[in-house]
Chains A and B, each alone.
Chain A
Amino acid sequence: MTKALGRVVATERKPNTPHEFHFWTSLDSPVGIGTIVRVDGAHPVEGVIPRIYGIVVEGFSYTDLQTPMHDVLSHDGIPSNAGFAATERAEIRLYSAAVLRQIPEEPLQPVPMGEVFLAEERDVATALRMDSYLKDGANTGIPVGVYRAGATDSVIYLDADFLLGPEAAHLNISGMSGLATKTSAVEWLLSSLFAHFPESKGSVAAVCFNVKGPDLCFLDQPGTNLDDRDLDLYEKMGVKPGPFENVTYFAPYTAKGFGLNTLRSNEALMGNVKPLTWGLREVLQYAEVLLNKDDIDAKADALIDFITERVVDRRFEQDSILTRDHTVQSFGDLENWFKDLLRGMERANAESWRTHHIATIRKVRNRLSNISTRCAGLVTDTGDVSDLPFGSFEDRAVYVVDVATLEEDAQDLIFARIVSKLREHLERRDLGVKHLVVFVDELNKYAPNDGQDTYVRKMLLDIAERGRYLGLVLFSAQQFRSQVHRRVVGNSGTALYGRMDGDELATPGYSILSPATRTKLATLEKGQLMVRHPHFTQPIFVRFPRPAVMQGRDGAEKFPQAADVSLEHALYRSLRTVDPGVTVAWVRDLVALYDEGELIAARNAAMVAKPANMRGFFESRLRKKIPAQPAFNAGLTPRETIPARSLPDDDPYGL
């Protein structure tokens, strides 16, 4: 039997209520803000001794002094004299606790007087109603961290049904930047989710958008900074302290198109990095993302619809204006179509074509052509598509889309299209997994609570409000929760808070927290979180271990970004990932024969097709060119050629 550490007290001025009570403790008790306690009532109610569980939300300390002046007088105005006083003044530690749970739950009464105990592990489970989802055979608990107070070390579980749906869903994390809270917490939670998500609930995967720096670029590499305390936490929570085993990275090419536009470009890590490229068809579906309202009036919108429906991917026959038939499959084809159309209209001195005014056609051409420039590296002129494996997502796999170094337009396009595709596939139940977590950082940028309504914000709202029915779950993070659209954060069943900025805590959204809880939030250590979850009637403070994956900064040091490479080197590196038989000499010959654009287009196509015969496929994508044959010496058989003289090292002609 543990010893009581406090006693409930109530006065007329400070009475206990069904939702709050007060107790005092000895000066050396381990109680603090966030400590969970248990009150054992003294008298039975309907034959049952009431038990009340509460969490400390406020603390008070005072002495029997009536005014501070008395203390000044006590020590003759000299603070150091206090140390010589024979007796220390009587002092109290008085705490206010918010009720987590009362047993029996009915009749709901004010908290009675009684002894206060530090909650033990079993008490914590009862207090947080975790007992309802940690049953043998129906355990849906996902460890989020460990609650610590005194000798109690208790794992806090989230309910998978309320984290990934269908009861509630979504998770939102707030915290100051640079304190290893948001990204670390998500990495840890994904590890825990993959380790504990019940098989009976189906498969789960994650798509993470890496929006800044190298944060998520090394999820498949082991962490180097775990200490014994972290390992203890991993062991206690039953999670293997290792990196993610199945991670695939996606990144568009750089604007030049030689290499991938990602901080994870070190050659040693390229095995699971795949290009992300889209063509005209993929982009036109989401033109709204890239074209703002000023660009798209009703007339322009009609023309874009016409192009999407009637022009793209079908044979568009010659008419009185167009000089030839067109099959538009890429931005290049579309540009040729526009050119032919506009020349024809100029030739015919026509002001409109099929009800579309020439000015509208010029405007749409200008805006659409511009997309491939603005999103160079992502959008290809040739129409080659390299995409996430929609339809064959794997269980417990992480797909990281690195958009950290892209322009905002390209980021928005990537985000909008991928999430839309995920949603489509989940609706059809053919994504490959039953549940999908989408992690988006910097949510205050993508779903701000003010500013104009963007396509991306609409999509995030849609996920937040309807995603749980599909198994599409949003894990989002931001520095300032108050700046995020409240329907997005409001629909997050679970919320985690790291150390918060004082200004942020002063916003109305935090007014439900006591001043002491807000103070604790403002001073949280690394590795500490405040957790709100539908089962918990009050926020709980937990510790979580450092993620067992290499942190972005460490990874960037260990695997530095590849320097800008030549076209020859870039082709060699790319093609070798598909066919190790590719040689430098073969690539060099091709580079000498063909222009850059043609080679990059062929490379992109090869990376998508991943042909068994790489050389054959690659060469088939290039225009036929007959390389110069060495001259035969008269009188010699063709095989008896005279070897060419080697070039001098300092060949002044660059041959």
Chain B
Amino acid sequence: MGHRAGVISSAERIERGSWPGSAHEARRFILERLPGSCPVEGLSAEADRYGRAEEPAVLITPTIIEDGPFRAIRVAEVDSPRGGTGFTGFLDGTQKVEVLAHDNGIPILWATVSAAVRTRVDRRMIAWPGRNPIVRSAFYVPLKYVTNLKDDVRNHATTVDTSAASSADKVPSRHPAALREAAIKKIQYSRERAELELAEAWCASEPGVLYVDGSLTGSRLSSESSHAVGVVKSHNRIYADGEALDVLIGLRAGERTSVFRPPLETNRFSVASWYVRVRQAAGHDALFGLVRVEAALSTHVAARADEISRWIIAEGSPLALPDGRWDKMAYGIRDTEEFLRAIQ
């Protein structure tokens, strides 16, 4: 009563057995289906600190695939108006994680991962008509440690078991932090899959080049396509050591490093990679304005690296402010993030 025709309340939806559409609904839903569990309120902001699993900071020596030693190569004059760009699309993904409840300390998470491609038409960003954005929500539950969960959740196709063994065949302990860490990795993986799904769709259909926020190495198609370029902003892993690290730290705006091939990891595909300094770092920390670029391996990798580096530098205008990562972020990626925030 009192509601408009055709609109039902979240309580009614849950009573009718509908799958929840929001974190609020999900909390009510799981409390009904996990007797004895305790709700966790107001953790959405706090949950941000669980948003991404941090990697350890390491220095890795890469295999240089460009002639000569690891060195700085000037590709653009950043003081002059920025040049043209060949990117026609931007791909980014986000994840939103909430701890809904705990069952004897076992955390039950709800996460929404999303990914979208935005294309540029007449210098303005619009949603890519080739494929709808992906928005997926799911419960992340360590099923092994939660015994009294009702079957509809336990067996639901979208429910992710965060106690399943990882690729290293390690089952997480019952430590709540370990379980949360395991859930975050699963969520991160889901997001990456969503991103790569769109990247592959782009590479299969579009003639232009896609700016992917993150690595391409999770997808064979993307990593081998000349229509996708991955741009990595985080530098927990730095592919330079010794003198090469000095070269990297001393990189000036408008310069790139020599092209190298990162060591191949399990379930990852090989790419060409190099660093570009988009903005002058003077007065900032050493990694200010520094991005690592990934592109398909090719025979003319140096010329391709020069070209792509110039495009990335050109994408530095306009600034992605007020995003805190504005020194490294392209405006197209910020636009895509805002778009995802609007549709989540």
Contact = CB atoms under 8 A, between A and B. Distances in A.
Contacts of A44: 4-5
Nearest to B85: A86
Contact of A43 (B4, B82, B84, B332): B4
Contact of A86 (B7, B79, B314, B321): B314
Interface string A75-104: 110101111111111100000000000000
A27 B338 CA distance: 18
Interface string A49-72: 000000000000000111000110
Interface residues of A, number: 24
Contact of A70 (B5, B85, B123, B319): B319
Given A83-B81, A86-B331, 10 more contacts: A43-B7, A44-B4, A64-B335, A70-B322, A75-B318, A81-B82, A84-B83, A86-B315, A87-B123, A87-B315
Contact of B6 (A43, A75, A85): A43
B75 interface: no
B53 to A, nearest CB: 29
Interface of B: 4-7, 79, 81-85, 87, 120, 123-125, 314-315, 317-319, 321-322, 331-332, 334-335, 338
A303 to B, nearest CB: 81
A45 interface: yes
B6 A88 contact: no
A74 interface: yes
B124 A88 contact: yes
A73 B331 CA distance: 13
Contact of B125 (A70, A84, A87): A87
6 contacts: A70-B322, A74-B321, A85-B317, A86-B120, A86-B314, A87-B331
Interface of A: 43-45, 64-66, 70-71, 73-76, 78, 80-90
Contacts of B321: 65-66, 70, 73-74
Given A44-B5, A86-B123, A88-B124, A71 B318 contact: yes
A84 B82 contact: yes
A2 to B, nearest CB: 22
A44, A71, A75, A85 pick with most chain B CB within 10 angstroms = A85
Contact of A87 (B83, B84, B120): B120
A88 B124 CA distance: 6
A85 B332 CA distance: 11
A87 B82 contact: no
A64 B321 CA distance: 9
Contacts of A85: 82, 123, 317-318, 331
A80 B321 CA distance: 20
B208 to A, nearest CB: 13
Contacts of B334: 64
Nearest to B335: A90
Contacts of A82: 318
B322 A66 contact: yes
A129 to B, nearest CB: 27
A171 to B, nearest CB: 44
Nearest to A78: B81
B322 A81 contact: no
Contacts of A64: 322, 334-335, 338
B35 to A, nearest CB: 36
B5 A43 contact: yes
Given A84-B81, A85-B82, A75 B125 contact: no
B9 to A, nearest CB: 14
A44 B335 CA distance: 35
A90 B338 contact: yes
Nearest to B321: A70
Contacts of B82: 81, 84-86
Contacts of B79: 76
Given A84-B81, A84-B82, A89 B4 contact: no
A70, A78, A83 pick with most chain B CB within 10 angstroms = A70
